[in-house]
Amino acid sequence: MSAFVPHRFAHKTVLVTGAGADFGAEIAVRAAEEGADVVVHFRSSKDGAEATAERIRAVGRTAHLVQADLAEGKQIQRMAEEAWARFGRVDVAVNNAAEAAREQLSWRDVTEESVDQVLGVGVKGTLLATHEFGSRMLEQQSGGAIVNIGSTVVSRGSARVPQYAAAKYGVIGVTKSYAQAFAPRVRVNTFAPGFIETESTKRRTDWQNGHRERLIEVTPMGHVPSPGELAGAALFLASPEAGHITGAFLAADGGYNMPGA
């Protein structure tokens, strides 16, 4: 028996960045399953974005692809212009795109180039996208909602990829600042998953050499979810049920970072 899927985004338009693979793709498809037409953003994974679009069309919704480098403000503006020109409005924007430096195995491998890439998309790109999308949503009669994808890495930091932890700390600052600026017409929240078993994660050397099993042992829920398992939770923050939630940080990590007494 398939799980019940609510219809929270009927007659809405949802934009998802980084929707060519992994978590972004699953959020985009879940939004379509819940009734939305979807703007599918990608930077370089056009084939992946096309695959996401096909899945969206398979459930009877419209998909519109747009390419942009989110480290460049002018490209973010162009993406927004395309989205609003195509659909006339965007009700929900999910800023999911991020550079994760997955191939890096230690802080000793940090390079200035990697810092620029990770912070350029994760902080600068998220800030400029939130600014651009939210400013346009303020002009809409129905307002809108923005979900910035963070991470529970902010609870512990990361000795492996400190630049990624820094970027996700920055996402919290972006969220809280624009939640204040845009209230009450546009809500801005952070959804923070813990470890997700994406295709990219599965290719990591440490994941293949026992890290997954060690993580499961210390996670109260005893499970590492797939991207599809968390897509609906991420979209909750953009749904009518979350109508009085803004500036929040919602963690979904199976209790891994549960605070002590």
- Which two three-digit tokens encode residue 219? 């996670």
Task: Verify whether residue 164 is a known catalytic residue.
Answer: yes
Active-site residue (options: 164, 169, 178, 256)? 164
Which residues, 6 or more positions from 112, have their beta carbon under 8 angstroms from its beta carbon? none
CA distance 249 to 148: 10
d(CA 125, CA 155): 22
Measure the CA angle with vertex 212, ends 211 and 218; round to 5°: 90
Q: Which residues pair with 38 in a beta bridge?
A: 14, 63
Instruction: Decide if 126 contacts 72 (C-beta within 8 A).
Output: no
CB-based contacts of 210, cutoff 8 Å, min separation 6? none
Six-digit token string for 48 = 């992946």
Whole-Å CA distances, 103 to 63, 204, 206, 207 = 31, 7, 10, 11
The conformation of residue 224, written as its DSSP 8-state character, comes to -
Secondary structure of residue 59 in the 3-state scheme: coil
Whether the CB-CB separation of 17 and 98 falls below 8 Å is answered with no
Q: Can you tell me the distance from the alpha carbon of 48 to that of 51, in angstroms, rounded to the nearest whole number? A: 5
Give catalytic residue positions.
164
